Amino acid sequence: MCAMVKAMLVASLIQMIPFAANAQSLADRYRPAAGQILGASLQSSTAYDQLGELCDHVGNRISGSTRLDQAITWAVKTMQADGLQNVHTEKVFVPYWKRGVEKAWTISPQRHELSILGLGMSVPTPKGGITADVVVVGSFDELDKLGEAGVKGKIVLYDVPFAGYGKTVPYRFAGPSLAAKYGAVAALVRSVGSLSFDTPHTGTLGYQEKLPKIPAAAVSIENSTMMRRMAQRGDRIQLHIELENELIPNQPSANVVGEIVGSEKPQEIVLLGGHLDSWDVGQGAQDDGVGCMNTLGAAKAILDAGLHPKRTIRVVFFTNEENGDFGGKGYRDAHKAELGNFVAALESDSGNGPVKGFSLDLHGEGRNKTITISPEEKARAENGLALLKSFAPLLEPLDATKIEMGGSGTDIGPIVSEGVPGIGVSHDTTHYWEIHHTKADTFDKVIKLDMQKNIAALGILAYMLAEMEGTLR
In the complex with Zn ion, the residue whose CB is nearer, 270 or 290, is 290
Q: Which of 259, 321, 365, 467 is catalytic?
A: 321
Query: Is 287 one of the binding residues for Zn ion (CB under 5 A)?
Result: yes
Residue list 51-110, contact with Zn ion (CB under 5 A): none
Q: What are phi and psi of 403, to 5 degrees?
A: -125, 120
108/155 Cα distance (integer angstroms): 14
3-state secondary structure of 90: strand
In the complex with Zn ion, the residue whose CB is nearer, 327 or 459, is 327
In the complex with Zn ion, the residue whose CB is nearer, 287 or 361, is 287
Query: Is 349 one of the binding residues for Zn ion (CB under 5 A)?
Result: yes
Q: Find the part of the chain contacting Zn ion (CB under 5 A) among 112-120, 234-242, 283-291, 363-371.
A: 283-291
Catalytic, 321? Answer yes
Query: Is 467 one of the binding residues for Zn ion (CB under 5 A)?
Result: no
Which residues lie below 8 Å from residue 145, measured CB to CB, with a gap of 6+?
Answer: none
Q: Find the part of the chain contacting Zn ion (CB under 5 A) among 66-74, 139-147, 281-289, 438-446.
A: 281-289
Least separation in angstroms between residue 187's CB and Zn ion is 23
Q: What are phi and psi of 86, to 5 degrees?
A: 50, 40
Q: Find the part of the chain contacting Zn ion (CB under 5 A) among 51-59, 181-189, 287-295, 460-468.
A: 287-295
Number of residues that bind Zn ion (CB under 5 A): 3
Query: Is 325 one of the binding residues for Zn ion (CB under 5 A)?
Result: no
Q: What would you report as the CA-atom Rg of the chain, rounded to the nearest whole angstrom?
A: 24
Residue 180 CB-density burial (10 A; 0-12 exposed, 13-18 middle, 19+ buried): buried
Structural contact between residues 118 and 222, judged by C-beta atoms closer than 8 angstroms: no
Q: Find the part of the chain contacting Zn ion (CB under 5 A) among 58-66, 285-293, 382-390, 400-408.
A: 285-293
**H-helix or E-strand spanning residue 156:** strand 155-158
Least separation in angstroms between residue 33's CB and Zn ion is 30
Nearest to 203 by CA among 175, 233, 227: 175
Provide the mask over 394-433, with x wherever binding to Zn ion is found by CB under 5 A and - wherever it is not.
----------------------------------------
320/452 Cα distance (integer angstroms): 26
Least separation in angstroms between residue 471's CB and Zn ion is 28
For residue 290, CA distances in Å to 247, 445, 472 come to 27, 11, 26
Query: Is 347 one of the binding residues for Zn ion (CB under 5 A)?
Result: no
In the complex with Zn ion, the residue whose CB is nearer, 350 or 452, is 350
Q: Find the part of the chain contacting Zn ion (CB under 5 A) among 288-296, 352-360, 378-386, 442-450.
A: 288-296
In the complex with Zn ion, the residue whose CB is nearer, 52 or 351, is 351
Number of neighbours of residue 44 by Cβ within 10 angstroms: 16
Q: What are phi and psi of 338, to 5 degrees?
A: -105, 5
Residue 393 CB-density burial (10 A; 0-12 exposed, 13-18 middle, 19+ buried): middle
In the complex with Zn ion, the residue whose CB is nearer, 242 or 349, is 349
Query: Is 450 one of the binding residues for Zn ion (CB under 5 A)?
Result: no
Least separation in angstroms between residue 321's CB and Zn ion is 5
105/314 Cα distance (integer angstroms): 49
Query: Is 288 one of the binding residues for Zn ion (CB under 5 A)?
Result: yes
Binding site for Zn ion (CB under 5 A): 287-288, 349
**Looking at the annotation, which residues are catalytic?**
321
